[in-house]
Chains A and B, each alone.
Chain A
Amino acid sequence: AQSVAQPEDQVNVAEGNPLTVKCTYSVSGNPYLFWYVQYPNRGLQFLLKYITGDNLVKGSYGFEAEFNKSQTSFHLKKPSALVSDSALYFCAVRAPSNDYKLSFGAGTTVTVRA
């Protein structure tokens, strides 16, 4: 079985401040982890992934995420948030034994105020 939890429905930050969106997962074996962003009336856009290797992965638009195996977490971070980062963010996991089926979290709405 595989699952993802995003414990915060909403995150509010001021522009220029650090942004963190939390994600924890449950999976058998080493996970494949993904972050996606969804803007209003649009599909999901891929931000970054962790497959293997360095625990800190860098992605699009200045985002990064840190894989922590002991805490089963994959939190998304951005050092300095922009108003344009306001969107819905999804974490997703796939067990390596599972070829294709992703499990998504419920999503976290990020609001960055000017």
Chain B
Amino acid sequence: GAGVSQSPSNKVTEKGKDVELRCDPISGHTALYWYRQRLGQGLEFLIYFQGNSAPDKSGLPSDRFSAERTGESVSTLTIQRTQQEDSAVYLCASSLAPGTGGARQPQHFGDGTRLSIL
């Protein structure tokens, strides 16, 4: 497909379990972002990847959250020992690299993973 793909679209799990969310960006987009959207709230920045540079992890809310990206392809966001406050929609976005004019371009979003912690 041509857009950002996220899986699973929905995930229900018990408190204390680990979850892994996947994002497949648009081909050619070297920049990749993860956001958290809590019900009735705006988007909360979590982490940013750009090519092979060190990621900006400044938005990760705790050490239970981590993310990986292999090269310029798929990224996974992992939440360990999930808590009820982790329930949210997790959105992934991608864009062109900032240095190539990407800073002036919009980010393209996937449909998100709706995570529910019981």
Could you tell me which A residues sit within 8 Å of B by CB distance? Answer: 32, 34, 36, 41-46, 49, 51, 90, 94, 96, 99-102, 104-107
Contacts and interface: CB of A to CB of B under 8 A. Distances in A.
A105 B114 CA distance: 20
Given A100-B56, A101-B56, A106-B42, 16 more contacts: A36-B106, A36-B109, A42-B112, A43-B4, A43-B91, A43-B109, A44-B43, A44-B91, A44-B93, A44-B109, A46-B106, A90-B43, A100-B95, A105-B42, A107-B41, A107-B42
Which range contains the number of B residues in contact with the other chain?
Answer: 20 to 34
A-side interface mostly: loop
Contacts of B104: 32, 49, 51
Contacts of B103: 32, 94, 96, 99-100
A94 B45 CA distance: 13
Interface of B: 4, 6, 31, 33, 41-43, 45, 48, 50, 56, 91, 93, 95, 98-99, 102-104, 106-112, 114
Contacts of A94: 103
